[in-house]
Structure 1
Amino acid sequence: MEWRGRRQSDNIEDRRGQSSRGGFGRNPFGRSGIQIPMGGRRGGGLSFGTIIFLVVIYFVLKAMGIDMLQVLGEGNIGGAGSGYEQSIGQRPAGQSSDDTTAFVRTVLAETETTWNAIFSASGEQYREPTLVLFSGATASACGQASSATGPFYCPADSKVYLDTEFFDQLERQFDAAGDFAQAYVIAHEVGHHVQNLTGVLPEFNRQRRSMGQREANQMSVRVELQADCYAGIWAKSADKEGILSDGDLEEALNAAQQIGDDTLQKRSQGYVVPDAFNHGTSAQRMKWFKRGYDSGNVSACDTFSGPI
C-alpha cells in the first residue's frame, strides 16, 4: 500500500498503556456483547449478597422471556472475530509501533473519504466512527474488549476496537501477510459501522431475539459477508486513489480465505460444522469482498436476498 504521506484521521482514541480489569471476551469482526456489572469487594470477587441478587435478577428476567445466558453467549453483531474471532493481519517487517499508529490512522481516514462520498451522493450524512487503540483489554459500551478475540465494532458506542498487537499475533497464526490484509480488517469493521447507520445491525439484533441458534448463525453470516463486501467497496475507492500496490488485492483475498469459518474449523479441529458457521466460508468471504471491489457499488452488497 502507498499509504505514507496521506491524510490521517483524528477519530482515534489511544488507550494503550492503560490498565483494565478483565471481563467477558468478545468475538471480533462482527460480534459485541452485553456485560453484567460485577460488584463485590475490590480484589475479592463477588460478595454472597451480590451473588443472591444476580440469581434473583436472572430468574426475574427469565420469567419475562429474557434468557441472559443466551444473550451473553451470543452477543450482538457489531464488531469482528470476526474468531474476527478471527482476522488477519501482519505488521510489515521493520514497521515500528509509531508506524503502525500512522498506518491505522491513514486507513481510517481513507474509509472516511470513501463513505462520506457514498453517503453524500445519496443525500445522507456519514457519521464517522471512532477507532480505539488499546493494549491487552479495555472497556467498551458492549462490554470488555480483549486482545484475545481481536478487533470488533461496538454499535452501542459506534467505536471500532483494535489491539494492534493482534497484527503480530495473526502473523504467527495465520498465513495472511501484508499491510493490505491489515487494512481489510479495519475496513471490515468500518463496514459494520455502516450497517449500524443504515439500520442493518439494529434490525438483526431485534430479530435474533426470536431466533434459534442455527437461524441466528445463518443470518450472522449474511451480516458478515455484507461487511466484507463493503470492505471491497473501500478497496476499490483506494485503488482509484492510487493507494494500492501490486499484490495488495491478492493479500486481501488471501486474508478473506484464511479467516473463513470452514478453514478455521479445519485448522483448529480437523473437520467442519456448517451449522456453527457465523461469518461465512472462505469462498463466500472472498466472493463478497471481490464483488464489492469489482462493482464499487453498495447495491451490489445485498447479501440478504437469495443465495450467498
Structure 2
Amino acid sequence: MKWQGRRTSSNVEDQRGKSSGQSGSGGFNPMLLAPLIKLLFSKTGLIIAGLVILFSVITGYNPLNLIANFFSGTNNQIVNSQPYEVTVHEDEQAQFSATVLASTEDVWKNILSDYREPTLVLFSGYVSSACGSASSATGPFYCSGDEKLYLDLSFFQDMENRMDAPGDFAQAYVIAHEVGHHIQKLNGTMDKVNSLRGKVSEVEFNKYSVRLELQADFLAGVWANHMQRTTQILEQGDFEEALNAANAIGDDRLQRQSTGKVVPDAFTHGTSEQRMRWFKKGFDTGDISQGDTFNAKSL
C-alpha cells in the first residue's frame, strides 16, 4: 500500500503502556478531623511539620499523600510506572493504523450522509471498554457501547508469524472490518442481533453472528473498492494479502488448527471461503446494497 504521507485520523486514543495503582476501600473519616487540627497547632505538630518538609526535600515525594492515606484509612500503593517504550516499527504501525482509519472516514462519509466517525483505541496488554475488559489475546474488536475500535498492534505481528497472513493491506482489512461493525451499529443491525442473545439457542445465535461478521467483511470490501478508486493506493499483491487474511481467520481453519476437527454449529465468523467471498463481493461491487447477508439464501 502506498499509504505514507497521507492524512491520519485525529480519532485515535493511544493507551499503550498505561497502568494504574490499586487502591484499598475507604474514605475520609470526619471523626479524625478534630484530633488532626489539635495536633497541627501543638508543639509536636510543629516538629512533625519540620520532618514532613525534610522528607519532601530528600525524597521528592509529596508526604501529604501518606498523611491522607493514614487519615482516610486507604491503602494506596506508590506505583513506579516506567514510560512505555515505543519501537520505530510500532510507531510506524500506529501511523499506518491512523492513516487507514482516516481513509475509512473519507470513504464512509461519502457513502453515508449521516456517518459518525468511530474512535480507534491503541492499547498494549489489557484495556477497559464499555463492553468490559479485554486482553491482547481477544484480538481487535469493536465495542458498540462506546463506538470505539480496540487494537493491540502486536496482533499485526501475530498475523504474520502465527497466522501466515502478512502484509499492510491484510492489516488494513482488519481495521476496515471493525469499522464495518461500526456501520452496523449506526444502522441498527448490530443492536438487533445483540438483542437476540439469550432469546434463541446458542446454535441459532451463532448463525446470526456469522451473518453479522460476513457483512462486516463485505463492508470492508466496499471500503477497499472506493478507497482504490479515489486514491489508487493499492499495489500489486495487496488484494491477495487481504484475501489471505480472510482465509486465515475463517472458523473452519481456526478450529482445525486448534482442535483438529470442524464444528459448524460453533461457527461465529464464517468459513475461510465465506469470508473471502464476501470481502471480494464488496470489493468487486462497491455497492453497499449488495451486502444483505441476513436475507441471502446461501452464505
Q: Same fold (TM over 0.5)?
A: yes
Q: What is residue 188 of structure 1 aligned with on the other side?
A: 177
Q: Deviations over 1:198-246 (max 9, x none)?
A: 0001111112231110000011000000000000011111211111010
Shift of 1:169: 2.3
Separation (CA, whole Å) in 2 of partners of 1:303 and 1:7: 32
Pairing of 1:1-308 with structure 2 (within 5 A): 1-19=1-19, 96-120=89-113, 125-240=114-229, 241-305=231-295, 306-308=297-299
Q: What is residue 68 of structure 1 aligned with on the other side?
A: none
Separation (CA, whole Å) in 2 of partners of 1:20 and 1:8: 29
Report SS of the residue matched to 2:134: strand
Unpaired runs of 5+ residues, structure 2, are 26-86
Shift of 1:261: 0.3
Q: Deviations over 1:229-274 (max 9, x none)?
A: 0000111112111110100000000000011000011111111001
Shift >3 Å, 4+ stretches: 39-42
Higher relative contact order (CA closer than 8 Å, sequence separation 6+): 1
Query: In percent, how many aligned pairs have the same letter?
Result: 58
Shift of 1:20: 6.1
The answer as to whether partners of 1:188 and 1:231 remain within 8 angstroms in 2 is yes
Report SS of the residue matched to 1:210: coil
Separation (CA, whole Å) in 2 of partners of 1:233 and 1:129: 18
Q: What is residue 78 of structure 1 aligned with on the other side?
A: none
Normalising by structure 2, we get a TM-score of 0.76
Unpaired runs of 5+ residues, structure 1, are 22-38, 43-93
Write the letter of the residue equivalent to 2:285. S
Shift of 1:145: 2.3
Separation (CA, whole Å) in 1 of partners of 2:92 and 2:226: 23
Shift of 1:138: 1.2
The answer as to whether partners of 1:229 and 1:301 remain within 8 angstroms in 2 is yes
Normalising by structure 1, we get a TM-score of 0.74
CA RMSD in angstroms, aligned pairs only? 1.7
Report SS of the residue matched to 1:207: coil
Write the letter of the residue equivalent to 2:13. E
Write the letter of the residue equivalent to 2:120. L
Separation (CA, whole Å) in 2 of partners of 1:148 and 1:170: 12
Report SS of the residue matched to 2:195: helix
Separation (CA, whole Å) in 1 of partners of 2:254 and 2:277: 17
Separation (CA, whole Å) in 2 of partners of 1:270 and 1:95: 38
Shift of 1:170: 2.6
Q: Which has the larger radius of gyration?
A: 2
Report SS of the residue matched to 1:131: strand
